[in-house]
A and B are shown apart, each in its own frame.
Chain A
């Protein structure tokens, strides 16, 4: 291919490259279609979530989940009480370097940030 041919082809396509297609409502059509697609997929996602929740509840009661949970809770409570007992017994002789600022931050994280994030994620999912 000669340089002349190359120029000929490039010149021809240069004019075609300038062609701009007017939107003419194309974007609106796409966005409307996306809205439909999204709501349909969202509906399926919700149905799937509720199906899983229902299945989890059925299986929980079917396999004696409540009894098992009660047992586990009892073990946790016993362990926690024992730990507290040990802590209070040993506390007067133990020096804990507690920083009030850090305590405040931890309290804010647990009492404000975590519930806020949980609520936000739940509301986004449901």
Chain B
């Protein structure tokens, strides 16, 4: 039902340039898209909002390219993934990367090093642990883990979003979950 609703709204936007329909789509998907960016940037609210905004603008400008082969949310997350990937590439080119080993690793916000971490106010303990745990993962692992465990996408959908083969997604998930489990045990989550 929700899928049909999305397709009806997308049709309204694509055929009649109905802005109200797109407004509804933004309202519906702003939370998962912003949460995706928050998890990838480890809690940088300002950057996440900028990237989310860019994602929705790209979605609006390219809405006629949506063919309905996958759900609208998968298509949107694919754009979000590409926006994040482009951002990382730009950062690398500008030599603003924050780690020598991995250009997509961002400093650990869990210890208050991040300037825009106001999302950490409610339930801050959980969020601090979440971002600290996610910081241990490689970017590919982080994307797969958050897409599966937070956004609830199955392996084949994650493969579509990231463009990574399903077996590689499974490897990322296995390694990521191992690292997460170790981290959680060390921090007393198994008690």
Contact = CB atoms under 8 A, between A and B. Distances in A.
A27 B180 contact: no
A39 interface: no
Nearest to A27: B26
Contacts of B19: 31, 34-35
B35 A19 contact: yes
Interface string A1-19: 1001110111111111101
B49 A26 contact: yes
A30 B76 CA distance: 15
* Most A-side CB within 10 Å, residue of B123, B145, B180, B184: B180
Contacts of B56: 30, 34
Given A1-B174, A31-B22, A31-B26, A15 B57 contact: no
Interface of A is mostly: helix
Contacts of B38: 21
Interface of B is mostly: helix
Interface in A17-46: 17, 19-21, 23, 26-27, 29-31, 33-35, 37, 41
Contacts of A34: 19, 22, 56-57, 60
A27 B27 CA distance: 6
A20 B181 CA distance: 24
Contacts of A41: 61
B94 interface: no
Interface residues of A, number: 28
Contacts of B31: 20-21, 23
Contacts of A31: 19, 22-23, 26
Interface string B10-44: 00000000010011001100110011001000000
B114 interface: no
B181 A1 contact: yes
B27 A15 contact: no
A9 B22 contact: no
Nearest to B129: A12
Nearest to B27: A27
B169 interface: no
Interface string B134-162: 00000000000100011110000000000
A23 B23 CA distance: 12
Interface of A: 1, 4-6, 8-17, 19-21, 23, 26-27, 29-31, 33-35, 37, 41
27 contacts: A1-B181, A8-B190, A9-B177, A9-B180, A9-B184, A12-B129, A12-B133, A12-B184, A12-B189, A16-B127, A17-B152, A19-B127, A21-B35, A21-B38, A23-B27, A26-B53, A27-B30, A30-B53, A30-B56, A30-B57, A31-B23, A31-B26, A33-B53, A34-B22, A35-B19, A37-B60, A41-B61
